[in-house]
Amino acid sequence: MKESARSVSVKPLIGPALIFALAVYFYHLAGKIQEVPIPGQLGPAFWPKVIFVLLMISCGIKTLEIITAQRRQHTGMEAAAPAQATDYVKLAAMIVSIVGVVYAIDILGFLIANFLFLIIFMMIAGWHKKISLLVISTLGTLSLLFLFVKVVYLPLPKGQWFFYDLTIYLYRLLHVI
């Protein structure tokens, strides 16, 4: 049975719909975080709620992309591109790096662990220009640092051993504390 030009296959929409539903559920849970009203601060529920709203928006955008691509394919506007082969070694390395940074943040501190994570992750993804890696990792880490510490008032892990002292030194250098 042929699908009409206006029909949309539901199977590719399952992933974004499931993630959207989970984001709605977790947004609801974030609303139950007991807040202690501190004048001039956003509160502990703000950041999780923002993340889940952005996740819901990104799911909506992805759904629109899928529907638009399917309609173009059905109307002949776009030739069906062959699916790219998944590089499972890269995928596994990316997953390991994400899990690894969770453990590294406690030991190295957020500042150092995030900087190294961004470099490693981008290299795994195929980016090998050294200057770009350093600039993007530095600016990304500093942006997140200032967002979490100065805007959201979230204390970040500072690390253990000499990493703690190094993080405190860098915080003072950057006028974070």
Q: Please compute the mean of the pLDDT values over residues 44-53 and round it to a whole number.
A: 82
Q: Convert the pLDDT of each residue in 139-167 to its tens digit.
A: 999 998 888 887 777 788 898 999 999 98
78, two tokens: 């776009």
The pLDDT value given to residue 146: 86
Looking at per-residue pLDDT, the higher value among 6 and 94 belongs to 94
Percentage helix, strand, coil, to 5, in the chain? 70, 0, 30
Q: Convert the pLDDT of each residue in 74-127 to its tens digit.
A: 776 655 556 677 788 888 999 999 999 989 999 999 999 999 999 999 999 888
The pLDDT value given to residue 177: 79
The pLDDT value given to residue 80: 53
CA 29 – CA 27 distance, rounded (Å): 5
Looking at per-residue pLDDT, the higher value among 136 and 47 belongs to 136
